[in-house]
């Protein structure tokens, strides 16, 4: 009998299960020699239902008790002496099955002559030996044609990102190994091994998931990669560092082209991080609106400053950013993570693109980040009730850290019929919102805590009634801050308009609370109001300018809110906003811009199209340019400005999901100059922190590992990650959220 070597490997036979076929005397091996047995010795081949032995044609090698087996070539399966007898250990019905080998998805068998058949590749049509007479060539050479990538048509298909079925070569283990089934999965395409691609994926994985660069030299990782793909030449720390910087430079080119195409100006936020090495790192984030009126935020630079306390530190970092991205003359505003002294502001003002940086009281230098302001005030509120909060925290810890204590607490809560649906949990003292939620949950179950000592004698430090009263006061003030800060977490790009509304509302609440008869409430309100006054003084006017650019509010909301905040002094502050808006608009009118920039921005006018249009009308630039100048000269004194017409138009209804940027996109033809000013004002960021850091109570600090890296490497790692996440390149699609999976697929290709 002749059997195919790739289908039956005798060292694997002991694991095949319960059924055997007994061949007396001798059997032919795949190479044509006889496997002789002495006397009545027999060979037993076991199998089970999951491992039926089949011929290349997919037919079973197990016959019914009254039938003979068939080979793919000669039909009857017989012994060399011509006796067609089978001794069956167990009887199973014959099953006609398709070929199991993955090879047959890529090959077909065709008869060339009466006793010769050849296998033809479905992709490249190349033919291979399959059977001649009674000799079967096997499938190993067919598998090599697919697995080694020698099929030219298959390679072309890969270039077109076609999904090719996976082929897993058979194991060549020891006698003790058990055979492994081969499966084809549509999610694991066949990939030709590429050393450079694997290196790129490692660099991107390190960037995306903040892995240390040294991980490529860790013994465990090296062993993992070698076992996964022995052909991969493992990279060193220096190599992966260079690859990460190379990835950064490639991504930077994409972003640079994107920023060069924006029609407006750019706003920057500056966030100074400390480090264990006494140097600072300035994180510079750019905020801008593109030609489609979509708001974007990107990390542009991470600049290491040796002397972070210097008045020149921030101005130096900004100058580096402007030079690096060629943004000279395009900077509209600066937002800082904390208030700056006057000397630092004087160094920064010359960098602003506005000719008169004192427009709107110079508030294009936004003095403070709203998220940090709210966190600083919340921290003061928590410190005012520190002793009481410690008692509450200890009580919550007593209940939540022991199953028996928690069980008694819940039983008592049920007996007292306390309606609260909240769960107790310990706070994270670096996130003030978790402390607020802990206090709220504990306050709703204060009855249970007050009675807990009756059912649990070990509980001895229940908060007093005065403590619970203080907790309610703290929660009232923390809720004001939490509602305002939570807006920054639910919106990817929080608008100045929303922040303006929240700030003046809190300001009004605190102003009323100062007159409260309770000395603690009055004192706490006064302390909070002083900090809000500083932020309001630094930022209210530029925030108000953003409100004016909202057609639902315009100057009306400014007048209303300023009256609430300033009382009789409100008209003077309202005039500052009104005059500042008009002065800024006059500067935009005087800018040396094309007279009809909105058409060019839309691409509705082809820069190459001159002469006549499809209708035969004369559209020469000179003719229309002269006409535009004539219109401006003859009507500018008689017509109202775009700004005045805009302010006099009726307010739009305050719909909940109003698309402000979309409205300006639709109305930029009606207000061509004002829309450009609105684009820049509405891109002013109010927070330097990402949504997941809004509630932090400690200034950010560069970790020790990154501080040990070269500043250029730190910048490359941080910036590249932000750009990949924003989806400016194909990297984010290639990696997704699981870089490990893609790394494994890239390295573990068929050898």
* DSSP result, 517-554: SSHHHHHHHHHHHHHHHHHHHHHHHHHHHHHHTSTTTH
Three-state secondary structure readout of 295-337: EEEEEEEEEEECCCCCCCHHHHHHHHHHHHCCCCCCEEEEEEC
For residue 575, the surrounding DSSP H or E stretch is helix 570-589
Tokens of 350: 């010359």
pLDDT above 70: percentage of residues in the chain: 70
Q: What pLDDT band is residue 54 in, cutting at 50, 70 and 90? A: very low
pLDDT, mean of residues 200-224: 94
The DSSP call for residue 25 is: S
The C-alpha angle 498, 501, 502, rounded to 5 degrees, equals: 90
pLDDT value, residue 155: 54
CA atoms within 13 A on the CB side of 70: 12
Average pLDDT, the chain: 77
**295 strand-pairing partners:** 289
CA distances from 594 to 198, 364, 582, 640 (A): 49, 25, 21, 21
Q: What is the pTM of this model?
A: 0.68
pLDDT value, residue 518: 92
Residue 371: partners with Cβ closer than 8 Å, 6 or more residues away: 485, 488, 687, 688, 689, 693, 694
pLDDT, mean of residues 105-130: 84
Among residues 113, 121, 126, 107, the alpha carbon closest in space to that of 58 is found at 107
Residue found under tokens 């919550």? 396
pLDDT value, residue 493: 67
pLDDT value, residue 76: 42
Contact 243, 717 (CB under 8 A): no
Q: Is 70 helix (H, G, I), strand (E, B) or coil?
A: strand
Contact 193, 751 (CB under 8 A): yes
pLDDT value, residue 655: 87
Residue 680: partners with Cβ closer than 8 Å, 6 or more residues away: 264, 265, 267, 289, 332
Number of Cβ within a 10 Å radius of residue 723: 25
pLDDT value, residue 149: 55
Say if residue 648 is exposed, middle or buried (CB neighbours under 10 Å; 0-12, 13-18, 19+): exposed
pLDDT, mean of residues 455-467: 89
Q: What pLDDT band is residue 251 in, cutting at 50, 70 and 90? A: very high
Please provide the DSSP assignment of 112-167 as one string: EETTEEEEEETTT--EEEEEETTEE--SHHHHHHHHTT--HHHHHHHHTT--PPP-
Largest Cα span, the chain: 121
pLDDT value, residue 176: 41
Q: Which residue has the higher pLDDT, 232 or 136?
A: 232
Q: Which residue has the higher pLDDT, 163 or 405?
A: 405
**21 strand-pairing partners:** 45, 88
For residue 600, the surrounding DSSP H or E stretch is helix 597-602
Give residue-wise pLDDT tens across range 628-676. 667 666 665 456 889 999 999 999 999 888 999 999 999 999 999 999 9
pLDDT, mean of residues 170-195: 51
Give residue-wise pLDDT tens across range 336-364. 888 888 888 888 888 887 776 667 767 78
- How many helices (DSSP H) and strands (DSSP E) are in the chain? 26, 16
Among residues 197, 101, 193, 98, the alpha carbon closest in space to that of 155 is found at 193
Q: Is the pLDDT of residue 747 over 80?
A: no
**60 strand-pairing partners:** 54
Q: Is the pLDDT of residue 33 over 90?
A: no
- 189 alpha carbon, distance to own chain's centre: 25
Say if residue 696 is exposed, middle or buried (CB neighbours under 10 Å; 0-12, 13-18, 19+): middle
Task: Give first-to-last CA distance, the chain, whole Å.
Answer: 32
Give buried/exposed letters for 733-747 (b at 16+ CB in 10 A, else e): eebeeebeebbbebb
Q: 277-286, 503-512, 708-717, 730-739: which range is least confident on average?
A: 730-739
pLDDT value, residue 130: 82
Q: 36-50, 122-136, 452-466, 613-627: which range is least confident on average?
A: 36-50
Contact 523, 486 (CB under 8 A): no
Residue 187: partners with Cβ closer than 8 Å, 6 or more residues away: none
Pairing of strands 19-23, 135-136: unpaired
For residue 717, the surrounding DSSP H or E stretch is helix 711-726
Q: Which residue has the higher pLDDT, 117 or 136?
A: 117
Residue 43: partners with Cβ closer than 8 Å, 6 or more residues away: 22, 23, 27, 35, 37
Residue 634: partners with Cβ closer than 8 Å, 6 or more residues away: none
Give residue-wise pLDDT tens across range 273-327. 999 999 999 999 999 999 999 999 999 999 999 999 999 999 999 999 999 999 9
For residue 36, the surrounding DSSP H or E stretch is strand 34-36
**120 strand-pairing partners:** 108, 127
Q: 134-143, 222-231, 623-632: which range is least confident on average?
A: 623-632
Please give the Cα distance from 79 to 25 (Å, whole number).
8
């Amino acid at each position: 009998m002749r059997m195919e070597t790739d289908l039956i490997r005798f060292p694997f036979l002991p694991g095949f299960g319960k059924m055997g076929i007994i061949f007396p005397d001798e059997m032919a091996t795949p190479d044509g020699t006889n496997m002789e047995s002495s006397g009545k010795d027999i060979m037993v081949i076991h199998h089970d239902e999951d491992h039926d032995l089949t011929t290349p044609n997919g037919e079973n090698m197990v016959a019914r008790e009254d039938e003979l087996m068939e080979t793919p070539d000669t039909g009857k399966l017989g012994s060399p002496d011509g006796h067609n007898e089978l001794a069956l250990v167990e009887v199973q019905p014959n099953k006609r099955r398709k070929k199991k080998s993955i090879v047959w998805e890529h090959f077909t068998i065709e008869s060339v002559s009466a006793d010769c058949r050849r296998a033809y590749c479905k992709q490249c049509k190349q033919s291979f030996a399959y059977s001649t007479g009674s000799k079967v060539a096997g499938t190993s050479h067919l598998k090599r044609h697919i697995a080694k990538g020698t099929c030219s048509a298959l390679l072309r298909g890969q270039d077109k990102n076609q999904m090719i079925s996976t082929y897993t070569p058979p194991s060549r283990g020891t006698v003790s190994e058990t055979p492994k089934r081969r499966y084809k999965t549509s999610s694991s395409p066949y990939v030709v091994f590429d050393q450079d691609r694997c290196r790129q994926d490692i660099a991107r994985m390190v960037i995306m998931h903040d892995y240390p660069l040294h991980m490529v030299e860790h013994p465990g990782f090296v062993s993992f990669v070698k076992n996964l793909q022995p052909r991969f030449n493992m990279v060193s720390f220096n190599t992966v560092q260079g690859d990460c910087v190379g990835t950064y430079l490639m991504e930077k080119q994409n972003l640079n082209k994107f920023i060069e195409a924006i029609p407006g100006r750019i706003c920057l936020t500056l966030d100074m991080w400390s480090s264990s090495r006494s140097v600072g790192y300035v994180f510079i984030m750019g905020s801008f609106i593109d030609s489609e009126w979509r708001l974007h935020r990107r990390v542009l630079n991470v600049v290491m400053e040796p002397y972070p306390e210097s008045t020149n530190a921030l101005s130096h970092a900004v100058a580096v950013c402007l030079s690096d991205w060629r943004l000279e003359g395009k900077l509209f505003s600066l937002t800082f993570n904390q208030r700056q002294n006057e000397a630092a502001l004087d160094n920064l003002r010359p960098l602003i693109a506005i000719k008169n940086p004192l427009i709107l009281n110079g508030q294009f230098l936004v003095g403070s980040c709203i998220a940090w302001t709210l966190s600083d005030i919340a921290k003061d509120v928590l410190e005012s009730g520190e002793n009481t909060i410690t008692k509450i925290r200890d009580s919550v810890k007593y209940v939540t850290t022991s199953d028996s204590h928690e069980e008694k607490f819940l039983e008592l809560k049920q007996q007292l019929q306390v309606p609260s649906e909240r769960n107790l949990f310990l706070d994270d003292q670096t996130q003030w919102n978790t402390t607020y939620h802990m206090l709220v949950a504990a306050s709703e179950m204060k009855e249970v805590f007050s009675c807990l000592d009756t059912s649990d004698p070990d509980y001895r430090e229940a908060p007093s009634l005065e403590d619970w009263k203080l907790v309610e006061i703290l929660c009232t003030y923390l809720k004001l801050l939490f509602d305002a800060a939570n807006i920054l977490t639910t919106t990817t790009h929080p608008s100045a308009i929303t922040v303006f509304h929240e700030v003046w509302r809190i300001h009004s609440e605190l102003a009323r609370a100062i007159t409260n008869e309770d000395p603690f409430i009055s004192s706490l309100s006064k302390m909070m109001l002083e900090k809000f006054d500083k932020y309001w003084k630094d930022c209210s006017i530029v925030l108000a300018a953003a409100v004016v650019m909202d057609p639902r509010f315009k100057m009306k909301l400014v007048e209303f809110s300023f009256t609430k905040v300033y009382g009789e002094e409100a008209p003077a502050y309202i005039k500052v906003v009104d005059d500042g808006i008009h002065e800024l608009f006059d500067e935009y009118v005087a800018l040396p811009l094309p007279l009809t920039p909105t058409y060019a921005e839309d691409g509705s006018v082809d820069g190459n199209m001159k002469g006549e249009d499809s209708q035969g009308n004369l559209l020469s630039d000179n003719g229309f340019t002269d006409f535009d100048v004539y219109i401006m000269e003859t009507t500018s004194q008689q017509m109202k400005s775009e700004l005045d017409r805009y302010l006099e138009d009726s307010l739009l209804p305050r719909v909940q999901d109003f698309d402000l940027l979309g409205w300006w996109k639709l109305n930029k033809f009606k207000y061509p100059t004002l829309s450009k000013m609105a684009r820049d004002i509405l891109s002013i960021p109010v927070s330097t922190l990402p949504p997941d850091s809004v509630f932090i109570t400690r200034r950010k600090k560069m970790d020790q590992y990154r501080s040990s890296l070269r500043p250029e490497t730190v910048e490359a790692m941080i910036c590249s990650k932000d750009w990949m996440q924003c989806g400016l390149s194909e990297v984010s699609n290639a990696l997704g959220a699981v870089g490990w999976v893609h790394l494994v697929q890239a390295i573990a290709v068929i050898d």
